[in-house]
Amino acid sequence: MQQEKLALLGGPKTKTTDYGTGKRFGKEELKELKEALDQNTLFYWYGNKVKTFTKNFADMYGSKYCVATSSGTAAIHVALGALGVGPGDEVITSPITDMGTVIGILFQNAIPVFADLDPNTYNLDPASVESKITDRTKVILVVHLAGNAADMDGIMEVAHRHHLKVIEDCAQSYLTYYKGKLCGTIGDIGCFSVNDFKTISAGDGGMLITNNEELYRRSFRFADKNYNRLPSAGPVRDVTFLAPNYRMNELTGAVGIAQLDKLKWICDRRNAYGERISAGIRDLPGIEIPKVIDGCRSSYWFYMFRVDEKKAGVSRDQFTDALAAEGIQCGRGYIPTCVYGYDMFANHNAYDGTRCPFGCPKYAKHDISYRPGLCPTAEEILKTAIKMPVNEFFTDQDADDVIHAIRKVANYYRK
Ligand SMILES: Cc1ncc(COP(=O)(O)O)c(C=O)c1O
Question: Is the model's pLDDT at 235 over the cut of 90?
Answer: no
Measure the N-to-C terminal CA separation of the chain; round to a whole number of Å.
11
Write the CB contacts of 344 (distance below 8 Å, at least 6 apart in sequence). Answer: 350
**According to the model, what pLDDT value does residue 364 have?**
78
> Measured from the CB, is residue 104 less than 6 Å from ligand 1?
no
What separation in Å is there between the alpha carbon of 171 and the centre of ligand 1? Answer: 5
205 lines ligand 1 (CB under 6 A): no
CB of 100 within 6 A of ligand 1: the answer is: yes
The full length of the chain comes to 415
Split at pLDDT 50, 70, 90, the class of 1 is low
Instruction: For residue 97, give the ligand 1 atom closest to its CA.
Output: 1
Alpha-carbon gap, residue 25 to 261, rounded angstroms: 12
How many angstroms is it from 273 CA to the middle of ligand 1?
Answer: 23
Nearest to 147 by CA among 179, 121, 176: 176
> Could you give the angle at which helices 213-222 and 72-82 cross, rounded to 10 degrees?
120
Residue minimizing CA distance to atom 14 of ligand 1:
98
Mean pLDDT (the chain) is 97
- Ligand 1 touching residue 169 (CB < 6 A): yes
Burial class (CB in 10 A: 0-12, 13-18, 19+), 119: middle
pLDDT at 209 over 70: yes
How far away, in angstroms, is 69 Cα from ligand 1 center? 12
Instruction: Kindly state if the Cβ of 406 falls inside 6 Å of ligand 1.
Output: no
Ligand 1 pocket check for 171: Cβ under 6 Å: yes
List CB contacts of 361: < 8 A, sequence separation 6 or more: none
Dihedral-angle region of residue 37 (phi above 0 means left; psi in -120 to 50 means alpha; beta otherwise): alpha
For residue 180, count CB atoms less than 10 angstroms from its CB and return exposed for 0-12, middle for 13-18, buried for 19 or more.
exposed
Evaluate if residue 415 carries a pLDDT over 80: no
Pocket test for ligand 1, best of 69, 73, 167 (most atoms within 8 A of CB): 73
Check residue 20 and give its pLDDT.
98
pLDDT surpasses 80 at 141 = yes
pTM for the predicted model, two decimal places = 0.98
CB-ligand 1 contact for 357 (6 Å cutoff): no
Does the beta carbon of 173 sit less than 6 angstroms from any atom of ligand 1? no
Q: Is the CB of 142 under 6 A from ligand 1?
A: no
Cα 193 to middle of ligand 1, angstroms: 6
Q: For residue 255, what pLDDT is reported?
A: 98
- Whether the CB-CB separation of 19 and 332 falls below 8 Å is answered with no
Mean pLDDT of 377-388: 98
Distance from C-alpha of 108 to C-alpha of 104, rounded to nearest angstrom = 6
Give residue-wise pLDDT tens across range 3-49: 799 999 999 999 999 999 999 999 999 999 999 999 999 999 999 99
Residue 332 pLDDT more than 60? yes
The type of residue at 283 is D
pLDDT at 383: 98
Nearest residue by C-alpha to atom 4 in ligand 1: 100
Do residues 389 and 302 lie in contact, with contact meaning Cβ atoms separated by under 8 Å?
A: yes
Atom of ligand 1 nearest to the CA of 194: 10
Q: Which amino acid is at 206?
A: G
Decide whether any atom of ligand 1 lies within 6 Å of the 172 Cβ.
yes
Closest ligand 1 atom number to CA of residue 206: 10
Candidates 215, 160, 208; CA nearest to 185 is 208
Identify the pLDDT of residue 233: 66
Can you tell me the distance from the alpha carbon of 153 to that of 355, in angstroms, rounded to the nearest whole number? 36
pLDDT confidence of residue 2: 63
Sheet holding 181-182, edge to edge: 181-182, 177-178, 296-297
Other beta carbons within 10 angstroms of residue 50's beta carbon come to: 29
Give the C-alpha distances (Å, rounded to integers) separating 253 from 216, 266, 280, 414: 18, 19, 39, 51
Q: Is 73 in the pocket of ligand 1 (CB under 6 A)?
A: yes
- Which residues is 69 bridged to in the sheet? 206
> 109 with 86: CB under 8 angstroms?
yes
Q: Domains in the chain, please, with CATH? A: 27-260 (3.40.640.10)
Residue 161 C-alpha to ligand 1 middle, in angstroms?
Answer: 29
Q: Is the CB of 69 inside a 6 Å radius of any atom of ligand 1? A: no
Residues whose CB is less than 8 angstroms from the CB of residue 81 and which lie 6 or more positions away in sequence, other chains included = 104, 108, 218, 219, 222, 243
Pick from 144, 145, 172 the residue to mutate for probing ligand 1's pocket: most ligand atoms within 8 Å of its CB: 172
Whether ligand 1 lies within 6 angstroms of the CB of 206 is answered as yes
